Amino acid sequence: MLDIALLCRGLVKRYADVTALDGLDLEVHAGECFGMLGPNGAGKTTTIEILQGLLQPDAGRVEVLGHAWRTHERELRQRMGTQLQETKLPDKLTVEEVVALFRSFYRRGKSVDQVLEEVQLLEKRGAWVSRLSGGQRQRLAVACALVSEPDVLFLDEPTTGLDPQSRRQMWGIIERFRSHGGTTLLTTHYMEEAEHLCDRVAIVDHGRVIALGTPRQLIESLGAEHVVEFAIDNDVLVPDEVYLDLSGVQGVAHDDGKTRLTASHVHLVIPDLMRVLERRGATLDQLTTHHATLEDVFLSLTGRHLRDG
């Protein structure tokens, strides 16, 4: 009943000394916004480039919109839109000229004006690319991807390095594409981006998918939706069992000199925690609490932070 727009089965890709993909499986449904989340070097870009027919996998099967690259390359190129991580668009062309150049490669698509309006670059149409801000350049790259009215949109870290406002603008563009029925595969290492945009998320590490689900499901897999994080100032050691006995605490983790408790009810945990620590003569250095995020999921799965690479 759900159409599969993108399919990877057992993808393997090796470079001279590293295995970038180690049997990666992925299914993206038509019309969904799917996020690949993972640290640098996890294999996100390699996967996205194989899906776009730019790289050949060493093993495994790929289908895009139900077709293989080998047999349907011409058609698939017409039906996908892309933004690559490292592309620098021509500096000396105007915004309008760049979009018109890309538009000319496709049989069908929108007018240049239409797509510039969509990415809010209409008033910059006559400006040289070299004069654009980082956010504007990135929106121009996405405009070049959207100008053909693609069925599938590939975005490789579309908001990396952007300020919060530019990031929100980009989110708006992606949400609009999705609301018109388009399928999006995006990679990111911003948890809040994946939580905000994606219907489903795959967490990728060392070339494999280690967790898959909606952002909600993944966070719930932690068993509790709050995280209490604190550090102890002196050398008092408190065994983990002590923390686990506190009401509502589901898990304990140690990271970078800090202790992290996942808990269902912050207001119950904190008074108990204070009492326990005082009894054992430990002084509290810092104490923070937040809603559990995908970052916490990644941390509990791998023991590492996403941004550590």
Partner 1 sequence: MTGSMRSWPIVHLTLWRVREFTREPEALFWVFAFPILLAFALGVAFKGRGPEVIRVAVEDGDGAAATAAALRISERLEPLVLDSAEAHNRLRTGKVALVVRPGEPVLLRYDSTRAESEMARMVVGDALQDAAGRREARVIAHETVAEPGARYIDFLIPGLLGLNIMGTGMWGVGFGIVKNRSQKLLKRFMASPMQRSQYLLSFVLARLVFLGLEVVAVLLFGHLVFGVPLRGSVFSVAIIVVLGAMTFAGLGLLVASRSKTIEGVSGLMNLVMVPMWIFSGVFFAYSHFPDAVQMFARYLPLTALNDALRAVLLDGAPLVAVAGLLAILLLWASVGFGVALKIFRWE
Name residues whose C-beta falls within 8 Å of residue 89's C-beta, 6 or more positions apart in sequence.
Answer: 98, 129, 137, 140, 141, 144
Cα–Cα distance between 208 and 217 in angstroms, integer?
Answer: 19
Query: For residue 13, what are its two tokens?
Result: 């890709």
Cα–Cα distance between 215 and 201 in angstroms, integer?
Answer: 6
69 part of the interface to partner 1, by CB under 8 A = no
Please identify, among the stretches 8-16, 106-114, 230-238, 262-270, the one whose residues bind partner 1 according to the rule CB under 8 A: 106-114
Cα–Cα distance between 278 and 273 in angstroms, integer?
Answer: 9
- Out of 4, 60, 67, 106, which residue is the one contacting partner 1 (CB under 8 A)? 106
- Out of 58, 66, 87, 134, which residue is the one contacting partner 1 (CB under 8 A)? 87
**How many binding residues for partner 1 (CB under 8 A)?**
27
- Out of 2, 16, 71, 88, which residue is the one contacting partner 1 (CB under 8 A)? 88
- Out of 12, 72, 78, 120, which residue is the one contacting partner 1 (CB under 8 A)? 78
Name residues whose C-beta falls within 8 Å of residue 221's C-beta, 6 or more positions apart in sequence.
Answer: 211, 213, 297
Name residues whose C-beta falls within 8 Å of residue 52's C-beta, 6 or more positions apart in sequence.
Answer: 80, 82, 154
Please state the closest distance from residue 116 (CB atom) to partner 1, in A.
16
89 part of the interface to partner 1, by CB under 8 A = yes
Residue 297 is inside which H or E element, if any? helix 294-302
74 part of the interface to partner 1, by CB under 8 A = yes
Please identify, among the stretches 94-102, 222-230, 247-255, 266-274, the one whose residues bind partner 1 according to the rule CB under 8 A: 94-102
105 part of the interface to partner 1, by CB under 8 A = yes
Nearest residue (CB) to partner 1, 89 versus 197: 89
104 part of the interface to partner 1, by CB under 8 A = yes
b/e 223-255 (16+ beta carbons within 10 angstroms → b): ebbbbbbbebeeeeeeeeeebeebebbebbbee
Please state the closest distance from residue 150 (CB atom) to partner 1, in A.
10
Please state the closest distance from residue 39 (CB atom) to partner 1, in A.
22
Partners of 15 in the β-ladder: none
Phi, psi of 277 (to 5 degrees): -65, -40
102 part of the interface to partner 1, by CB under 8 A = yes
Nearest residue (CB) to partner 1, 16 versus 237: 16
Cα–Cα distance between 45 and 61 in angstroms, integer?
Answer: 17
Binding residues for partner 1 (CB under 8 A): 52-54, 74, 77-78, 80, 82, 84, 86-90, 92-93, 97, 100-106, 109, 111, 128
